[in-house]
Amino acid sequence: MKSYRISNAPDVHTPRLDEELRAALGAAYLGVSTDGDGVRVHLTDGATVSDEALAEATVLAHDHTQPSSVEAVQTEANARCAAATGAVNAADLVTLLADLAAADTVDDLREQVMALARVVSHLAVAQGFAPAVEDVYGV
């Protein structure tokens, strides 16, 4: 294993930098670590001088304000969950159930059942059973 220190590295967000280095270097890349002296990129013994140059260029071009792909997905999921929880909290279930019980035509019943299905959809998203309301029941 070769370790290549980049002492003039900018601030880094290690999970994101790891993704960027893995994408840039492929099989030559083993990992990245940081300490008070900068960034150390760990490469295979077969890594070339051009791999080292690419590692340095990748580190120097790194934007530490960008989340990793995992963090971006989690942030999006958290936002969907918060929106779904808000929709469930805003739903007037007492009125919805009363309207459902009072429905006297097929169209009224269909409308109330769909309203109830939307609430269930939001619950499914809030509980993590579905990624988006549109993915549950198509509503």
| 8-24 pLDDT tens trace | 888 999 999 999 999 99
What are the tokens at 103?
A: 């429905």
pLDDT at 137: 54
- Answer yes or no: are the C-beta atoms of 58 and 21 closer than 8 Å: yes
Domain assignments of the chain as residue spans, ordered by start: 2-61, 69-135
pTM: 0.63
DSSP-assigned states of every residue in 66-78 = SPPHHHHHHHHHH
Give pLDDT tens digits for 60-76: 999 999 999 999 988 98
E-strand stretches of the chain: 2-6, 29-35, 38-43
Order of strands across the sheet that contains 38-43: 2-6, 38-43, 29-35
CATH number of 2-61: 3.30.70
Residue 66 region, left (φ>0) first, then alpha (ψ -120 to 50), else beta?
A: beta
